[in-house]
Amino acid sequence: MLEPECSNEVREAIADSRAVVALESTIFSHLGLPSPHNRDALDRCCAAVRRGGAVPAVTAVLDGVVRLGLTDVEHERILGPARKAAERDVAVAVAQRWELGATTVSASVAIAAAAGVSVFATGGIGGVHRGSELTGDISADLDAIASHPVVTVSAGAKAFLDLPRTLEYLETAGVPVLGWRHDWFPAFYTRSSGLPVAHRVESAGEVGRILAARSRSRSGVLLTVPITESAELDASELDAVLRGALDECARSGIVGASVTPFVLGRIAEATDGRSVPANLALAENNAAVAAEVAVAIAEG
């Protein structure tokens, strides 16, 4: 069974029923943002959680131990090279004593749930890939969100995914998809994908009550938070880049987990690096909203 080792700060916060926000480590490793932006992301996300009155708890597998909450020295470790660990990989990372497993959304949600943490913040979730009717390529993030009682706070899903099918999958799985003071499902770098969310919420208290009232005891909630207007990228520019990058993936046989870093790299090149500040801004904003939700849940 999954039994994460919590830092002293996180353990005490859980014992005292104080707010904790879990964070993934993939975005902070070399698999996520390039250096030094990954360090900036880590600092900004943790600071946003603390400003909101919650305790940040980065998830990772270090030396074969599943961790929830890291020390400053351990924060330094996750900034470097790592092996990506989705939920399915965590048991392998433990058994094989991986030096550093950078946890994805699915792994982080599972780790948070195992420790009794109700809120997790990330940048954007994975979803149903375009052409999944042929490849069967669906991110494990969706099953994790549907299978663990955690509020996942994200800027929607990556724009290169099949967003209508992603929403259909979540509906079938019984996951409430909420829009944070917004009516549209965000597409990571843009505030709206053109697809409506099922329900709009105006307060953190509403989110907490929805989690508490869910009909399936093990299911979670997806809270989508649009990127701030000042950080949003141009949708028409992105569409052209995405089409080109996905065509290149098809020609080169790039599939599965390799698609995300490839496409994000092409976006960074095409936008002259403007996608990096946007990524930082949305991750920080999500962390701030997650802290607000975590505090509301802790206060009941």
202 is catalytic: no
Q: How many other CB atoms are there within 10 angstroms of residue 44's CB atom?
A: 17
- Distance, first Cα to last Cα, the chain: 29
84 is catalytic: no
Using alpha carbons, list the distances in angstroms from residue 169 to 73, 129, 284, 290.
39, 12, 27, 23
**For 261, which DSSP code?**
H
Catalytic residue among 5, 9, 12, 24: 24
Catalytic residue among 84, 87, 158, 232: 158
For residue 18 the two structure tokens come to 């104080």
Cα–Cα distance between 148 and 163 in angstroms, integer?
A: 22
Using alpha carbons, list the distances in angstroms from residue 287 to 20, 32, 136, 160, 176.
11, 17, 31, 23, 20
Nearest to 298 by CA among 46, 52, 3: 52
Catalytic residues: 24, 158
